[in-house]
């Protein structure tokens, strides 16, 4: 079956350097640095990445960061709470625009 | 929950022969090639430090990841005669530590006799206690006191500080019983700060993924076990599951085998390879044969020197130390990331 997303493509992420090596190297170096232990632990960063992966709805990132958070010692509850954080922010972001809608509604109403 | 060993189920992967055949059938780089690239092949021994004795395959649990394929239906256990051969070999071996494992080593009827005899040899004694055995029968309830009396170091598996992840790997109700057993060990002084009675825990992933950073996880386990259950322990060892026996069967059945092996190979760490535990360990099976490690034991890859299998009945330290260690594709589990051994990271 042909689909737009192929799980095997995740392993080929590094191949993006084929068309533009310099920028890709800069990106992967940066990426590596970002996820190291710092003011936040590598584990906390991995959970943030999992939440963002859901917010941007990237299937590659969801696979990658589900496994990565498990390998950082997180359990299913922690993973799901991270997803709820993403959902709450996405839901909240939609809802807060309700204020704008109300403003406009009132502006146009008698 | 599983209740029977692969052997009892007559599963194809219950034989070492079929496991080795299966491990060799993929297109992955050979482990020996990786060793060759850093001039480590054939792998040779360093000074012997740990003498590991597998007292038998009988166990009160049937964990999904068990590389021994242990369980209540396994009847292979070490006799007192073979234990005597162990004692003679240990006295000659120069090893500073004797590591008792199984199955549940405590289920061997001569376990206590063996520990008492071992105590006379002045070695550090480790027992790999699965915790639930302490509560499995009245006759085991005093094990914490027995361990204490012989200053045994207790090493116990606890895959997580929640019931769901622990029970999914080790069986229903195991977490609750493990916490009770840990409390009993704490009660007699094990794992407490400043106490010389050591209680170390083992984490291994409950699934097809690699273990986390050992130090970070130890910190988290300490915090959670203390705040949720008032349990104390000394060290946490983060161990990688090797594709042997029931864990291999799980990988194949869940279609995780290829990805898992690829992950192990990609995470190959040359420093971990230099420090693999088989270089300073010997492992003896219930029937007295000598192996490089407990994994090779389960794959029945016996040590041979000059085409002779090594058995305790003709144990000679110089002969076994001259050996080349037998490696195969399962060894990738010892060299991934920070490396893995019976006492955790090696790199
Ligand atoms: S992992 Fe340990 S406790 Fe579990 S079945 Fe195997 S020997 Fe028994
Ligand atoms: S599986 Fe055994 S022989 Fe292979 S590297 Fe690990 S300890 Fe050594």
The pLDDT, as a whole number, for residue B2 is: 86
Low-confidence ranges of chain B (pLDDT < 50): none
- Please report where in the chains the tokens 């986390």 appear, as a residue: B212
The pLDDT, as a whole number, for residue B1 is: 82
pLDDT in tens, B6-24: 999 999 999 999 999 999 9
Residues of B in contact with A70 (CB under 8 A): 205, 207, 209
In a domain, B347, yes or no: no
Compute, in angstroms, the gap from residue B70 CA to the centroid of ligand 1: 6
> How far is Cα B290 from Cα B285, in angstroms, rounded to an integer?
7
In a domain, B127, yes or no: yes
In a domain, B224, yes or no: yes
The pLDDT, as a whole number, for residue A2 is: 82
> How far is Cα B312 from Cα B73, in angstroms, rounded to an integer?
26
> How far is Cα B269 from Cα B279, in angstroms, rounded to an integer?
16
Instruction: Tell me how far the alpha carbon of residue B302 is from its chain's centroid.
Output: 17
Low-confidence ranges of chain A (pLDDT < 50): none
* Domains of chain A, start order: 12-109 (1.20.1290.10)
In a domain, B74, yes or no: yes
| Domain interval for residue B116 | 4-335
The pLDDT, as a whole number, for residue A3 is: 86
The pLDDT, as a whole number, for residue B254 is: 97
Find, among B213, B316, B327, the residue nearest to B276 by Cα: B327
In a domain, B344, yes or no: no
CA-based nearest residue in chain A for residue B240: A71
**Residue A63 Cα, gap to closest chain B Cα (Å):** 12
pLDDT in tens, B112-126: 999 999 999 999 999
Find, among B141, B56, B167, B146, the residue nearest to B104 by Cα: B56
User: Are the C-beta atoms of B191 and B198 separated by less than 8 Å?
Assistant: yes
Total structural domains in chain B? 1
Compute, in angstroms, the gap from residue B104 CA to the centroid of ligand 1: 7
ipTM value for the complex: 0.81
Mark yes or no for CB contact A77/B217 under 8 Å. no
> How far is Cα B67 from Cα B15, in angstroms, rounded to an integer?
12
In a domain, B343, yes or no: no
The ligand placed nearest to the CA atom of residue B295 is 2
In a domain, B342, yes or no: no
Query: Which residues have C-beta within 8 Å of that of residue A99, sequence separation ≥ 6?
Result: none
**Residue B129 Cα, gap to closest chain A Cα (Å):** 23
Query: Could you tell me if the CB of B264 is within 6 A of ligand 2?
Result: no
- CATH number of B32's domain: 3.20.20
Q: How many CB atoms lie within 10 A of CB B88?
A: 13
Query: Could you tell me if the CB of B40 is within 6 A of ligand 2?
Result: no
Residues of B in contact with A45 (CB under 8 A): none
> How far is Cα A72 from Cα B148, in angstroms, rounded to an integer?
34
> How far is Cα B189 from Cα B22, in angstroms, rounded to an integer?
46
The pLDDT, as a whole number, for residue B307 is: 87
Enter the tokens of residue B7. Answer: 């052997």
Query: Could you tell me if the CB of B130 is within 6 A of ligand 1?
Result: yes
Planar angle of CA B176, B181, B187, nearest 5 degrees: 130
């Amino acid at each position: 079956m042909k689909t737009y997303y192929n799980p095997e493509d995740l392993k080929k992420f590094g191949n993006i350097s084929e068309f533009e090596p310099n920028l890709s190297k800069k990106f992967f170096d940066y990426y590596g640095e970002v996820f190291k232990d710092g003011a936040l632990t590598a584990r906390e960063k991995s959970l943030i990445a999992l939440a963002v992966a859901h917010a941007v709805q990237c299937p590659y990132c969801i696979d990658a960061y589900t496994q990565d958070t498990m390998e950082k010692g997180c359990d299913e509850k922690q993973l799901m709470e991270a997803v709820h954080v993403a959902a709450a922010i996405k839901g909240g972001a939609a809802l807060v625009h309700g204020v704008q809608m109300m403003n406009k509604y009132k502006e146009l109403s008698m | 929950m599983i209740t029977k060993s692969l052997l009892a189920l007559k599963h194809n992967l219950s034989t070492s022969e079929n496991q080795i055949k299966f491990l060799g059938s993929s297109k992955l780089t050979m482990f020996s090639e990786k060793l060759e690239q850093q001039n480590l092949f054939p792998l040779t021994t360093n000074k012997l430090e740990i003498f590991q004795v597998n007292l038998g395959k009988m166990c009160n649990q049937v964990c999904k990841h068990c590389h021994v394929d242990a369980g209540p239906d396994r009847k292979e256990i070490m006799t007192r005669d073979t234990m005597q051969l162990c004692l003679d070999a240990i006295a000659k071996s120069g090893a500073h530590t004797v590591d008792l494992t199984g199955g549940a080593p405590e289920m061997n009827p001569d376990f206590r006799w063996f520990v008492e005899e071992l105590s006379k040899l002045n070695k550090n004694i480790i027992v790999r206690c699965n915790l639930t055995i302490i509560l499995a029968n009245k006759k085991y309830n005093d094990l914490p006191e027995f361990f204490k009396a012989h200053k045994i170091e207790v090493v116990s598996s606890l895959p997580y500080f929640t019931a769901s992840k622990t029970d999914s790997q080790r069986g229903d109700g195991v977490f609750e019983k493990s916490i009770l057993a840990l409390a009993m060990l704490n009660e007699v002084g094990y794992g407490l700060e400043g106490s010389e009675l050591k209680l170390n825990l083992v984490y291994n992933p409950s699934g097809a993924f690699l273990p986390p950073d050992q130090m970070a996880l130890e910190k988290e386990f300490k915090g959670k076990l203390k705040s949720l259950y008032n349990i104390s322990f000394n060290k946490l060892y983060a161990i990688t599951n090797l594709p042997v026996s029931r864990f291999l069967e799980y990988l194949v059945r869940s279609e995780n085998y290829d990805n898992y092996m690829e992950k192990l190979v990609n995470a190959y760490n040359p420093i971990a390879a230099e420090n693999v535990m088989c270089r300073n360990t010997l492992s003896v099976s219930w029937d007295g044969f000598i192996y490089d490690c407990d994994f090779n034991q389960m794959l029945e890859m016996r040590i041979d020197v000059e085409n002779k299998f090594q058995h305790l009945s003709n144990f000679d330290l110089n002969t076994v130390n001259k050996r080349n260690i037998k490696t195969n594709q399962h060894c990738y589990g010892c060299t991934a990331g920070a490396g893995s051994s019976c006492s955790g990271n090696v790199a």
